[in-house]
């Protein structure tokens, strides 16, 4: 893989291949984003993910392939069901767009490596978990645990192919730091930290640690708490200071991790450079 990447780098002096690669990943992201909406809808309802085509939740009519083209169909149909005319939530094209952008960014971040599809799949799982947690305040084991197991299997393959097994130790350290901290907080204050958040933290620490040992995991944690604290304060202010208002933390964990993947090392280097 390293030889292929170096060859592509030489051929791609003008950035044409890199741009094409990012566009292909972005298109795949739109498609997987559409699938993410179906998974986020079905999993909390205990419906089989692979069963049949999507249907309009209002009239029950099947959404055909031409009506299910990511973003495009929503725009053409003007955000309404073709059969009953009921408005379709804007969240569907937004999820597709966000997933497409994340996939494209992953292609640019990792280039032609095994890590690119691995981290694209990881980010896809985070999108699904974020959507579910925002609506149901739930991080389902059906998604968190397979992401953890499949993630470790994929990263082991990537480390072996890349002849860099030390990254697996970094991944373990990241999981221990990120997940261990949340496990400790959850043990001390169970009401303030859900079990799903703790499990997800081990997953996030694994993927961040693989990229930069526990340092990047710490950055991800900091960014998660920072974003959660800011948004939580705004929500408390708007709700009149009612501390009973529940704010799911999963989306902030996902946001902090995404920021850490794409900008965390630069932030860490800048911070360490001040000393």
What would the pLDDT profile of 81-95 be if each residue is shown by its tens digit?
A: 776 777 878 889 999
When the pLDDT of each residue in the chain is averaged and rounded to a whole number, the result is 86
Same domain assignment for residues 108 and 118: no
Same domain assignment for residues 134 and 251: yes
Q: What pLDDT is recorded for position 218?
A: 94
Is the pLDDT reported for residue 174 higher than 90? yes
Same domain assignment for residues 25 and 118: no
Q: Determine which of 130-134, 237-241, 262-266 has the lowest per-residue pLDDT on average.
A: 237-241
Same domain assignment for residues 214 and 159: yes
Same domain assignment for residues 48 and 25: yes
Same domain assignment for residues 233 and 180: yes
Separation of first and last alpha carbons in the chain: 37
Give the C-alpha separation, 129 to 254, whole Å.
8
Question: Domain boundary at 64, 80, 113, which?
Answer: 113
Compute the chain's Rg from CA coordinates.
Answer: 20
Same domain assignment for residues 87 and 147: no
Is the pLDDT reported for residue 13 higher than 60? no
Distance, C-alpha 92 to centroid of its chain? 16
Q: What pLDDT is recorded for position 139?
A: 95
Give the C-alpha separation, 207 to 202, whole Å.
9
Residue 130: which of 56, 37, 67 has the closest Cα? Answer: 37
Name the band, by pLDDT with cuts 50, 70 and 90, for residue 274: low
Same domain assignment for residues 9 and 29: yes
Mean pLDDT of 219-230: 93
Number of domains in the chain: 2
Same domain assignment for residues 123 and 219: yes
Is the pLDDT reported for residue 240 higher than 60? yes
Is the pLDDT reported for residue 3 higher than 60? no
CA atoms within 13 A on the CB side of 99: 30
Question: Domain boundary at 84, 113, 142, which?
Answer: 113
CB contact set of 145 (below 8 Å; sequence gap of 6+): 199
User: How far are the Cα atoms of 45, 101, 272 from residue 49, in angstroms, in the given order?
Assistant: 10, 24, 45
Name the band, by pLDDT with cuts 50, 70 and 90, for residue 66: confident
Q: What pLDDT is recorded for position 172?
A: 96
CB contact set of 131 (below 8 Å; sequence gap of 6+): 36, 37, 40, 91, 95
Mean pLDDT of 205-234: 91
| SS3 letters across the chain | CHHHHHHHHHHCCCCHHHHHHHHHHHHHHHHHHHHHHHHHHHHHHCCCCCCCCCECCCCCCECCCHHHCCCHHHHHCCCECCCCCCECCCHHHHHHHHHHHHHHHHHHHHCCCCHHHHHHHHHHHHHHHHHHHHHHCCCCHHHHHHHHHHHHHHHHHHHHHCCCCHHHHHHHHHHHHHHHHHHHHHHHCHHHCCHHHHHHHHHHHHHHHHHHHHHHHHHHHHHHHHHHHHHHHHHHHHCCCCCCCCCCCHHHHHHHHHHHHHHHHHHHHHHHCCC
Q: By residue range, what is the domain housing residue 104?
A: 1-113
Name the band, by pLDDT with cuts 50, 70 and 90, for residue 207: very high
Question: Domain boundary at 93, 113, 133, which?
Answer: 113
Same domain assignment for residues 124 and 47: no
Same domain assignment for residues 27 and 138: no
Same domain assignment for residues 10 and 87: yes
- CA–CA–CA angle 228, 230, 232 (5° rounding): 60
Is the pLDDT reported for residue 257 higher than 90? yes
């Amino acid at each position: 893989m390293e030889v292929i990447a170096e060859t592509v780098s030489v051929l791609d002096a003008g950035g044409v291949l890199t741009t094409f690669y990012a566009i292909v990943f972005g298109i795949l992201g739109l498609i997987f984003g559409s699938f993410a909406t179906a998974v986020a809808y079905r999993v909390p309802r205990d419906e089989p993910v692979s069963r049949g085509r999507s249907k309009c939740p209002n009239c029950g009519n099947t959404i055909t392939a031409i009506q299910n083209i990511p973003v495009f169909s929503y725009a053409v149909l003007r955000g309404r069901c073709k059969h009953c005319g009921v408005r379709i939530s804007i969240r569907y094209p937004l999820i597709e767009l966000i997933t497409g952008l994340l996939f494209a960014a992953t292609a640019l971040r990792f280039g032609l490596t095994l890590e690119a599809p691995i981290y694209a799949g990881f980010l896809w799982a985070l999108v699904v978990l974020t959507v579910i947690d925002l609506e149901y305040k739930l991080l389902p084991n059906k998604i968190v645990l397979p992401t953890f197991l499949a993630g470790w299997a994929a990263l082991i393959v990537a480390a072996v192919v890349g002849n860099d097994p030390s990254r697996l130790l970094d991944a373990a350290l990241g999981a221990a730091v990120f997940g261990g901290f949340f496990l400790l907080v959850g043990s001390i204050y169970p009401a303030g930290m859900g079990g799903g958040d703790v499990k997800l933290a081990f997953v996030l620490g694994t993927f961040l640690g693989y990229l930069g040992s526990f340092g990047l995991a710490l950055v991800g944690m900091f960014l998660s708490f920072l974003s959660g604290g800011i948004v939580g304060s705004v929500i408390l202010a708007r709700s009149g200071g009612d501390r009973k208002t529940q704010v799911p933390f999963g989306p902030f964990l996902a946001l902090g991790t995404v920021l850490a993947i794409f900008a965390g090392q630069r932030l860490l280097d800048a911070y360490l450079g001040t000393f």
